[in-house]
Structure 1
Amino acid sequence: MNTHHTAFPPLYVSHGSPMTALEPGAAGAFWQRLGPALQARFGTPKAILAVSAHSLTREPVLLGAARHEAVYDFGGFPDALYQLRYDVDGAPALAQRVAGLLRDAGLPIHLSPEGGLDHGIWTPLRSMFPGANVPVLPLAWPPGWAPERLQALGAALAPLAAEGVLILGSGSITHNLRLFAAGRGEIDQPEYPESAAFRQWFQQHTEAGDHAQLATWRTQAPHAVHMHPTDEHLLPFFVAAGAGGLSHPGLRLHESVTYGHLGMDAYAFGPGAAELQAALA
């Protein structure tokens, strides 16, 4: 029996600090292996549908520009960071396809001719696809939507995976920037126990396929409020999980932590997740 899958497994990656683009660390090294592993096992994506914690709107909006550039949506970093570029084609035709899928699912969707990639998108893509040879379609989304509705959004996008589209959710598995003021500011300092407990809870429930429990993370996960004072960096996880199909468990592809509390974990979903995990091993 042929057990190989051709559909791209939807991904959730933690993009971390913008400085990861200059100081890749363990997560950056993982991204550099992730892109080639995807291409070796599944081929080069026809396009990437990107759902980032930094592109937020009241209702879903597709940024359907024909061309995108990196947006420097941050301040106070070294000048070298603002010199980095990621110029890549957009995917206007795919925007029409995605809009149709979401409308068929009864979800609101708007199309915009505007472009631009926030750092949650271009930072990992510079390492995953450094040749900028894969078109990108950003999908801005409402951070007020509950995990269950974001899972439904992902489920509506699921057919794209078999059409050669890589669905990429980008956020951070833990994200409390206030802890930078409390910490020593060392990128490799030991992990806070609260961060470790939260990440372990997410891994256990994800790999058990307990998507209903994951949706209750705000009240059930240990140290949830401490690790995520606001939700937006975790919520792209649920879009990727929904796109992979809630009948499938997710698999953690990478785990690391910077500054003791900023988790850099990455997950894959859907039938092809195990093959990607094996390809990366």
Structure 2
Amino acid sequence: MSIGNSPEDERPFEDVSDEARLSVGRALQQARIAAGLTVDDVSNATRVRLPIVHAIEADDFAPCGGDVYARGHIRTLARAVALDPGPLLAQYDADHGGRPAPTPAAPLFEAERIRPERRGPNWTAAMVAAIVAVVGFVGFTAFKGEDDGGSAAVAEGATPSAGTSATTKPKTEKPEDPKPEPSDSAIAAAPQDKVTVRVSAADGESWISAKDHTGGLLFDGLLKQGESKTFQDSERINLVLGDAGAIQLYVNGKKIDDKWQPGAVERLTYTKGDPQAG
């Protein structure tokens, strides 16, 4: 027995290499801390989402979505924290049943084989359709020619009567001209047994009202500038002029020269014989 050493110090060293070995996530975490980086720094630098970085450092590879993606994330994170990704990938494969097998190429070639072939245009069907169209057009043309010939023969042999000519255009009836207002000469030739009054809005518009000797209304409305109205009665015409200054009067063919003021309202009565305001 050695002096100064206890029995515990003399026991043989145990092989604790497997227990002392760091896991993949722990190795990445320690390397990140040693590099002075936060999880946010690593996530921003590698574009690996923050929850996945946390899960990998906790040796939870389920959020990666499969071994292929997990190996890719381990390689990316190892390079970001200055670690060799080779030993970490080998350790991950040993812990998870080996490296994933490559995707077989047979399904790709199978999918390529079943892709439908591109066919060219069906020229036979196109030629048949063209022939049918030509034959139909020729037949239609021949039938139309015979029909036109028969019509021409009928047209040459028949002599249409003058009263039933198909080409004669119907006469368009000329619209009747509106009856003109009586002129000064017409007023002058008015019957002597009646009173005739013509009202003309020469200098502006004016409201007028005209009644016969029985009180019957002949006109009641606005007479616009340039318009005229003529009234006749067997005995008497009663007038009301809303703006007498804008009106010219002709009574029994003679012009009334009264100087009415603009805007003046005049009530007038005219009878047979010489003009005389009632």
Q: What TM-score does the superposition give when structure 1 sets the normalisation length?
A: 0.15
Higher relative contact order (CA 8 A, sep 6+): 1
How high is the TM-score relative to the length of structure 2? 0.16
Larger radius of gyration: 2
